[in-house]
Amino acid sequence: MHGLSREMGEVEGDITRSLDSLFQYILLTEQQASEMNRHLREVKSEIHRCQEEARSLTGRLEEAKATLETKVQRLAEKQCQRLLLKKHQDFLESQKEDLLKEKEELLTMRVNYPFTADK
């Protein structure tokens, strides 16, 4: 009987060691799961922060784009006005030249054909 109880004691010892090992494994697994969950929360938080920053940058980009489009429109209008003014200036200069030529011709005619008040 002593042999049997001795074997039973060894079996009980083996079972106890196996249960202790299993318990240690469960604790380790829970610790790893906890670490993974903590890391996952950190990653989710970082993703959320990056998404917020991307939304903010997108908003700023859209504002800058609208401002740029307004400036481009104003520049196009000013270029058009400048072109019209240049054409008007060219026309006035041409008209001035024509009037100066006409004046010169009239003065030449007056010198060559003086008018008399008597006639």
- Tell me, yes or no, whether 31 lies in a domain: yes
Residue 105 placed within a domain:
no
For the chain, the helix, strand and coil percentages under 3-state DSSP, each to the nearest 5: 95, 0, 5
Q: Considering the domain boundaries, does residue 78 fall inside one?
A: yes
Q: How many domains does the chain have?
A: 1
Domain, as residue range, for 67: 1-84
Say if residue 5's pLDDT is above 80. no
Question: Does any domain span residue 59?
Answer: yes
Mean pLDDT of 106-117: 78
**8-22: pLDDT as tens digits:** 667 777 888 898 999
Both structure tokens of 94: 């041409």
Domain assignment of residue 30, yes or no: yes
Q: Largest alpha-carbon pair distance within the chain? A: 172
User: Half-sphere exposure of residue 114, counting CA atoms within 13 Å on the CB side?
Assistant: 4
What's the predicted TM-score (pTM) here?
0.54
Residue 103 lies in a domain: no
- Asked whether residue 89 is assigned to any structural domain, the reply reads no
Tell me: the pLDDT tens digits for 22-61?
A: 999 999 999 999 999 999 999 999 999 999 999 999 999 9
pLDDT at 50: 98
In a domain, 26, yes or no: yes
Q: Kindly compute the dihedral angle of the four CA atoms of residues 99, 105, 110, 113, in this order, to the nearest 10 degrees.
A: -150
27: which 2 tokens? 């604790």
CA distances for 97 relative to 7, 10, 24, 107, angstroms: 130, 126, 107, 15
